A and B are shown apart, each in its own frame.
Chain A
Amino acid sequence: MVDQKHIRNFCIIAHIDHGKSTLADRLIEFTGVLTQREMEDQVLDNMDLERERGITIKAQSVRMEYAADDGQQYVLNLIDTPGHVDFTYEVSRALAGCEGALLVVDASQGIEAQTLANVYMALEHDLEIIPVINKIDLPSADPEKVKQEIEEVIGLDTSIAIMASAKAGIGMKEILEAVVNFIPPPQGDRRAPLRALIYDSFYDSYKGVITYFRVFEGTVRKGDRIRFMATGKEFIVDELYVFRPGLTPVEELAAGEVGALAATIKEVKNVRVGDTITLAENPAPEPLPGYRRATPMVFTGLYPVESNDYGRLREALEKLQLNDASLSFEPETSEALGLGFRCGFLGLLHMDIIQERLEREFDLALITTAPNVIYRVNLTSGEQMMIENPADWPDPSHIASVEEPVIKASIITPSEYVGPLMELCQDRRGTFLNMEYLNEKRVNLHYKLPLSEIMYDFFDQLKTRSRGYASFDYEVTGYEQADMVKMDILLNGESVDALSSIVHREKAQKLGRALVRKLRKLIPRHMFEVPIQAAVGNKILARENIAPLRKDVLAKCYGGDVTRKRKLLEKQKEGKKRMKAVGSVEIPQEAFMAVLSTNPDDD
């Protein structure tokens, strides 16, 4: 057991690309947890996807030992946090286990929207914040200006700010000294009844659920009978671990320490993130305040291309959910796509990542329908419905009003791009709130926007219109009334449920036109003419025709090469198998995603 005054629990908060993971790696290396040879680049991002995309998705932890200049030996628990807005709730969980945070800001880029959001969250948790100006060795670095920005915008004292370059290994010792000197040690009575907060879990096929926690009060030992206070379930602790960074067994963990336990827990639903662990024999009277459960904001239908992969898709989703409680899914049936799942995600990046993991790690071919938000539909009967699937949209004659989720967006940008960005927000039905100057060259632009409007390529547009300089963050602020309608797509006169979407009435016409044009290009020609129509109710907004197939014949037969000919025919047939038939029309997978990528200004 380590004396509390020799423990420091901290995390790193930073914008994507500002060098957070590299910094974590250098600290691990510096404290000698791993030798350089053992270091795989970016130890903490251990999912393939995280490494490839250079992002952190899951919070990770590592325990370092450090001999400080004061002659004392310290245990430093570093909890790595994700930097993307979709994973804000992961950040808040990580913050709850810490007493301090390193705020990493890129010396040439300055503060970004996501940095601000996370700093405010850290301040709410009363964390001690140590500014670290990173990448000072770059020619474009302007650390003084960044310091000034931190003081003016966040109001932090930068006299203790550390100049660093994680890449070049500059400032590592100074950072560790600052952690020891400025971040307070954890408190909490080690003889009190156990109260440990669960901040994460994952499923190990041999050991069952591995539960990650921070002990706030009391002590837990191997062999203890523990109780999860929310579920009431009890288990015997098989093993206790600290993170070095792999799971390393220890005998006990006491207030102030961070670790994990295995207790032969077979069902992941028994371990709820945010729940409090106590001892069965001497339970705490009250649990710790938990976390707000992450609520899915974006919904989409996921269908297997091969309908007999439905079972495999369910198993894959269940497995992913073990380590990602924010993923929700329930079975749904589409006339066009058959059996699938309506899945809820924290945001578009989250959706993207889950989809990619399903395809990569589980080798599933998927059709994804256009994502949508949850609408609150007030019926003329006075009832209220929450609609997350266009297929459930009530008959318009029964709808009194519709409310949609809105966000407050913060866009930090060099001032020269304010014009194009305001135009973008305006296009997306945004309401200007205010604008503040961070310094003479950078502004923070605040807009109120419908959540649905930022789902389609908003981020790409933001980057394009600001030449990559603008950063963006948002929080969902509530629901507001909006004139939303369900737009149907009819192929050969038949409505295709998987192509329906909820759109704003004023945009329906333009979107409908763009969408049918796009579908005309994506849907192959048939032996008959296929009309494509976009409609709201009985009103046709747009129509295009796919001309009938006039000719499909190989003129030559390649001499005696019948094998090649047969393979061509097989390939052609295989291609058609991968399409979904709706009535007599064959629809390729890309068509179902067309709704997502349709820009009304496309020609």
Chain B
Amino acid sequence: MPIGLYVHIPYCQHKCGYCDFNSHAGADRTEQARYVDALLLEMELWAARPEVAGEQVIAVFVGGGTPTLLEGEQLSRVLTGIRQRFNLAPDAEVTIEGNPGTVDVEGEKLQRAFDAGANRISLGVQARQRHLLERLGRIHDALQVEEAVAAARRAGFTNINLDLMYGLPGQTPADFRETVAWALSLDPTHISAYSLILEEGTPFYLAFEAGRLHLPPEEAEEQMFREGKALLEAAGFEHYEISNYARPGHWCRHNLIYWRNEHYLGLGCGAHSFLRLAAPLENLGAPRPGLTASRVQGGSEVETAPGRPGQHYRFWNLKHPGTYRAALERGVLPVEAGEAVGRRQEMAETMFMGLRLLEGVSDHRFAARFGVSISAVYGAEVERLQRQGLVEWEGGALRLTPRGLRLANLVWEAFV
């Protein structure tokens, strides 16, 4: 079964106030180089394993952090390393994430990345207005975004995503309309529009709790969502996931793997994987202290779909770049912990991840995967959600209604 590959680059020039991803500022060139060495060691270990060796990789996503903070040569080593060690499909989507502020004007980095096999770039743009970017703690301005897009095109990229945000402190619907129109003028193939989420522990969250962060009123946030959607759809973009829009044929294949609850391998510190493993987790790699069966949660349920032997596992790497690297330097997989995913849990995850997609969860695919229909498992929940006007059946798929799109948490929680 084809898989996706995620590679985590945990470095940022500056940590933004809203960010709770695994990223660290202040790493120097040497530290980055050693991290890339560790990534190559990890690829080495996985490439030799039967769980991965035979599988075709159909999408690669180098994310972060800020992958474009790496030197061009380092980016190239990562991408070449993947190509050499894994069975990359000829038409695989290979995305690198970048911050417009870390893309050099000459475009050397992007050129090296493109030449090493990247064919899609995702730029963190967020907004056009300088005061909003400053409030977010972004290190770039609108001009740098335009330059970065131009540099990407010169390097050969034609598949370009721009990340936008709405519901930002100080942002008005007019600001967001302006941002969307401007982003469209840069002619990307894909636009992600995220509503700001205050994650616990972030500076934004703390400021909000202390009453020092003023978010736009709900009505304004809703207006931004509505108007953004309308502008993007009018420009020919498909709204295919809660926060994602794309020109036809340009849906993000890597993220589709997550949303369809398919398999992926995560490389790099803190990266998550979801794979079917023939042997239990503790037998992965060389035995090492700290990873015992007790840390594998929920491992008792062994029932899997008919005709598909083996057990599904979610597991994740050590979060800190230092401990991650240390494990690899000892020659062991840097897995921190994991959980076996039983059939029932996999069904739940298939539902709440799949219901992020506007096409919904196909009953046919669900039945092919689990041997039972959605209604047979979740009949009562689905009926209630239908009565509440949050979900609907359409073309053999269960999907969110426009109302459900705004209240999706209420839908998803019904399946856990």
Please give the residue numbers on chain A whose beta carbons come within 8 Å of chain B beta carbons, in ascending order: 527, 549-557, 559-563, 565-566, 569-570, 572-573, 576
Chain B, residue nearest A564 (CB): B272
A559 and B388 alpha carbons, distance in the complex (Å): 30
A569 and B415 alpha carbons, distance in the complex (Å): 9
A551 and B197 alpha carbons, distance in the complex (Å): 12
B410 within 8 A of A: yes
When distances are taken between beta carbons in the complex, the residues of chain A under 8 Å from B218 are: 550-551
When distances are taken between beta carbons in the complex, the residues of chain B under 8 Å from A569 are: 352, 409, 412-413, 415-416
Beta-carbon contact of B6 and A559 below 8 Å: yes
Measured between C-beta atoms, what is the minimum distance from A208 to chain B in Å? Answer: 44
Measured between C-beta atoms, what is the minimum distance from A370 to chain B in Å? Answer: 29
Please give the residue numbers on chain B whose beta carbons come within 8 Å of chain A beta carbons, in ascending order: 6, 21, 63, 194-197, 218-219, 221-222, 242-243, 258-259, 261, 264, 266, 271-274, 314, 316, 339, 345, 348-349, 352-353, 356, 388, 405-410, 412-413, 415-416
When distances are taken between beta carbons in the complex, the residues of chain A under 8 Å from B352 are: 565-566, 569
In terms of DSSP, what is the predominant structure of the interface of chain B?
mixed
Chain A, residue nearest B243 (CB): A555
Chain B, residue nearest A572 (CB): B413
With contacts A562-B272, A563-B272, A570-B416 known, is A552 near B194, CB below 8 A? no
Measured between C-beta atoms, what is the minimum distance from B42 to chain A in Å? Answer: 15
When distances are taken between beta carbons in the complex, the residues of chain A under 8 Å from B405 are: 553
Beta-carbon contact of B413 and A573 below 8 Å: yes
A560 and B405 alpha carbons, distance in the complex (Å): 21
Chain A, residue nearest B261 (CB): A562
Beta-carbon contact of B243 and A560 below 8 Å: no
A302 and B271 alpha carbons, distance in the complex (Å): 48
When distances are taken between beta carbons in the complex, the residues of chain B under 8 Å from A554 are: 197, 408-409
Most chain A beta-carbon contacts within 10 A, residue among B195, B348, B407, B416:
B416
A17 and B39 alpha carbons, distance in the complex (Å): 65
Beta-carbon contact of A561 and B316 below 8 Å: yes
Beta-carbon contact of A566 and B349 below 8 Å: yes
Beta-carbon contact of B194 and A555 below 8 Å: yes
12 more contacts with CB within 8 A, not counting A556-B243, A563-B314, are: A551-B218, A553-B408, A553-B409, A555-B195, A555-B243, A556-B197, A559-B266, A561-B316, A566-B352, A569-B416, A572-B409, A576-B413
Beta-carbon contact of A551 and B222 below 8 Å: yes
Partner of B222, one of A550, A557, A566: A550
A79 and B352 alpha carbons, distance in the complex (Å): 65
A527 and B407 alpha carbons, distance in the complex (Å): 9
A282 and B73 alpha carbons, distance in the complex (Å): 106
Chain B, residue nearest A562 (CB): B349
A555 and B126 alpha carbons, distance in the complex (Å): 14
Measured between C-beta atoms, what is the minimum distance from B213 to chain A in Å? Answer: 17
Beta-carbon contact of B221 and A551 below 8 Å: yes
11 contacts between A and B (CB under 8 A): A527-B388, A550-B219, A551-B195, A553-B242, A553-B405, A554-B408, A557-B356, A560-B258, A561-B272, A563-B272, A566-B349
Most chain B beta-carbon contacts within 10 A, residue among A550, A560, A565, A573:
A560
Measured between C-beta atoms, what is the minimum distance from A492 to chain B in Å? Answer: 15
When distances are taken between beta carbons in the complex, the residues of chain B under 8 Å from A527 are: 388, 407, 410
A570 and B352 alpha carbons, distance in the complex (Å): 12
Beta-carbon contact of A562 and B388 below 8 Å: no
